[in-house]
Amino acid sequence: MKIVVGLGTCGIAAGAEHTWRELEARTGNGGPKVELAKTGCVGMCYREPLVEVRMDDGRRFLYGGVGKDQVEPLLAALAEGKVLDDLLVWTDVGAGSEAAYLARQNRIVLRNCGTIDPERIDDYLAAGGYVALRKVLAENDPDGLINLMVESGLRGRGGAGFLTGMKWRFTRLAPGAHKYIICNADEGDPGAFMDRSVLESDPHAVLEGMAIGAFAIGADHGYIYVRAEYPKAIERLLIAIAQAEERGLLGEKIQGTDVSFQVRLKEGAGAFVCGEETALIGSIEGKRGMPRVRPPFPATKGLWGCPTNINNVETFANVPWIVSHGASAFNSLGTRNSKGTKVFAMAGKVKRGGLVEVPMGISIREVVFDICGGIKEDRKFKAVQMGGPSGGCIPADLQDTVIDYESITKTGAIMGSGGLVVMDETTCMVDIARFFLEFTQRESCGKCTFCRVGTKRMLETLTRICGGEGKDGDLELLEQLAGLVKNNSLCGLGQSAPNPVQTTLKYFRSEYEAHITNRKCPAHSCQKLLTYDITAACNGCDACGRVCPSQAITGEKKKLHQIDHAKCIQCDECFKTCKFHAIVRN
């Protein structure tokens, strides 16, 4: 019997290291004879810590919420041959409380995540790792390899969605004695954690994909530009690189051929703009991360002036699977122009938050409700925000929109790298636009006047509206500024920064008008626009009065209390304190 503990960042944050140490203590020194192993994130972040039991007869049982205190009853049940139904989330026979979460997924990028030990190259090899690299080296046909990638229809998963094979072809055809390949792992979107989880759970898949891409374009050096805030991903990447070099799968004369490929890590300092490829190149070169004018494009003049190909983590993780299974196996999934699968980081007001990998062409509704269980506390579904801070908001009315590049773009949002934030009726769409614009405004490198100043003026306007100081003409001003910023910014950050404002104005304009005209927030979220009243449900316990910092609440013990609106500072403490739901926000 083998017990496997999920030790990705999400599991560690939920206490998985304590679970691991407790299992070590109880299965050693005369305890039950089991083999302990580590793995990464299986995607069910909402049920961490996760522990999988693999029986000697091949059966598998995945248990969720296994903290330190649950280890003893779990081991006791295993000793008696029983199953802990209250903790069981999945079995290989399709049972378990979360079976539906995995049933609708089609895992290519996440094929090994939560299955193998990311710190053991032998686990990756046993799962078919590096077979694809050996195949392309044996065939020695870079042009045929590029044709395969073009035929597969794989588009870059970093946001722009450019055909990967075509990008490789441009770099291969570009003249230059030296060429580089870069993996963009600078995942800076709020609510996004796809790349981090893949790097932590299956780093060799990314390295193999990079090595295959390097062979295709003729590069002998590569960089992984990874966020310094991802220490576990960095640790496991360094282990994986060392292991691959030791086995002759990276480095000089790979597998006895004339092909060499060295990989180095570059830790980014957290600048969101460095997700843009020319700013990323500048950062690797030791310069301030700022976008460059294009053309020339990196494919012809990139890192240190040499032809350079850049793809993100998810794109590279697809490559070995496509080489091993063929282009048709990949392009049979998805839609006409968006092939394969897409990984999404599910966050926000959704019941099952975590990672999902679904075929392109699935609808937003299917992802939110069929896979992720719907909205927390069964509240009303309001919108999803896609594409990171510079993406857009798609209303619940469009929840049957299929997820592919063209359909999402038509809504005004963008696919982006794969963050999907779910919102319910308590979410203020004006405040959401303000929140994301605050992020992009802060992360602007400042090179372009329209991005630097325009986003600041937009943010000032949104802040006034949320604070109850909006005025006539603000919406027209926002629309004018959004067009100027979008059309006059150099890189993708400025060009897409207005998206949250534009989409919320398009689909939720009445909320903006309510903020300005009525000085009310329909979602009861903007505190400066709220008023509080005490209903007849009040029993006079005075709990609200005791927490009111402005002494705005008065009343006798066991009698109906009152709020003096002139004194109320909208701190929300009374609403949060009342156990009898006697205080309402208007």
Please state, in angstroms and rounded to a whole number, the distance separating the CA atoms of residues 287 and 289: 6
Say which CATH architecture domain 121-330 belongs to.
3-Layer(aba) Sandwich (3.40)
Please state, in angstroms and rounded to a whole number, the distance separating the CA atoms of residues 82 and 73: 11
- Regarding the domain delimited by 429-518, which CATH topology (the fold level of the hierarchy) does it fall under? de novo design (two linked rop proteins) (1.20.1440)
Q: What is the largest CA-CA distance in the chain?
A: 88
Cβ density class 370-385: b for 16+ within 10 Å, e for less: bbbbbbeeeeebbbbb
The pTM score is 0.92
Q: What are phi and psi of 31, to 5 degrees?
A: -75, -175
- Which residue's structure tokens are 């035929």? 151
Residue 203: cis peptide before it, omega within 30 degrees of 0? no
If 0-12 CB within 10 Å is exposed, 13-18 middle and 19+ buried, where does residue 247 land? middle
- Length of the chain measured in residues: 586
Domain boundaries, the chain: 2-98, 121-330, 341-424, 429-518, 530-585
Residue 490: CA atoms inside 13 Å, Cβ hemisphere, count? Answer: 18
DSSP state letters, 247-303: TTSSBSSGGGSS--BEEEEEEE-S-GGGGSHHHHHHHHTTS------SSSPTTTS-G
Q: Beta partners for 202? A: none
Nearest to 399 by CA among 382, 415, 414: 382
Would you write out the chain's pLDDT as a tens digit for each of its 586 residues?
899 999 999 999 999 999 999 999 888 765 567 899 999 999 999 999 999 999 988 899 999 999 999 999 999 998 888 999 899 999 987 778 888 888 889 999 999 999 999 999 999 999 999 999 999 999 999 999 999 999 999 999 987 789 999 999 999 999 998 999 999 999 888 878 999 999 999 999 999 999 999 999 999 999 999 999 999 999 999 999 999 999 999 999 999 999 999 999 999 988 889 988 999 999 999 999 999 988 999 999 999 999 999 999 999 999 999 999 999 999 999 999 999 999 999 999 999 999 999 999 999 999 999 999 999 999 999 999 998 888 899 999 999 999 999 999 999 998 887 889 999 999 999 999 999 999 999 999 999 999 999 999 999 999 999 999 999 999 999 999 999 999 999 888 899 999 999 999 999 999 999 999 999 999 998 988 989 999 999 999 999 999 999 999 999 999 999 999 999 998 889 999 999 999 998 8
DSSP state of 94: S
User: What pLDDT is stored for residue 349 in this prediction?
Assistant: 96
User: What pLDDT is stored for residue 268 in this prediction?
Assistant: 92
Q: What are phi and psi of 220, to 5 degrees?
A: -115, 0
Please state, in angstroms and rounded to a whole number, the distance separating the CA atoms of residues 78 and 432: 47
Name 455's Cβ contacts closer than 8 Å, sequence gap at least 6: 437, 440, 441, 444, 485, 494, 497, 498
Please state, in angstroms and rounded to a whole number, the distance separating the CA atoms of residues 544 and 561: 9
Distances (CA, A) of 226 to 114, 229, 284, 396: 21, 9, 11, 35
CATH number 3.40.50.360 is the correct assignment for the domain at 530-585 = no
Name 10's Cβ contacts closer than 8 Å, sequence gap at least 6: 41, 45, 48, 193, 197, 354
The number of beta carbons lying within 10 Å of the beta carbon of residue 301 is 18
- The CA-CA-CA angle for residues 445, 449, 451, to 5°, reads 60
If 0-12 CB within 10 Å is exposed, 13-18 middle and 19+ buried, where does residue 300 land? middle
- Which residue's structure tokens are 């490829």? 277
Please state, in angstroms and rounded to a whole number, the distance separating the CA atoms of residues 61 and 59: 7
- Regarding the domain delimited by 341-424, which CATH topology (the fold level of the hierarchy) does it fall under? Ubiquitin-like (UB roll) (3.10.20)
The number of beta carbons lying within 10 Å of the beta carbon of residue 109 is 28
Distances (CA, A) of 420 to 191, 343, 360: 8, 10, 14
Nearest to 455 by CA among 431, 475, 476, 436: 436
Please state, in angstroms and rounded to a whole number, the distance separating the CA atoms of residues 356 and 559: 52
User: What pLDDT is stored for residue 527 in this prediction?
Assistant: 86
User: In 28-79, which ranges are continuous DSSP H helix?
Assistant: 71-79
475: phi > 0 → left, psi -120 to 50 → alpha, else beta; which?
Answer: alpha
Q: Beta partners for 262? A: 221
Residue 190: cis peptide before it, omega within 30 degrees of 0? no
Task: Identify the CATH number of the domain defined by range 2-98.
Answer: 3.40.30.10
Nearest to 316 by CA among 214, 201, 237, 200: 214
DSSP state of 515: I
If 0-12 CB within 10 Å is exposed, 13-18 middle and 19+ buried, where does residue 536 land? exposed
Two tokens, residue 31: 């305890």
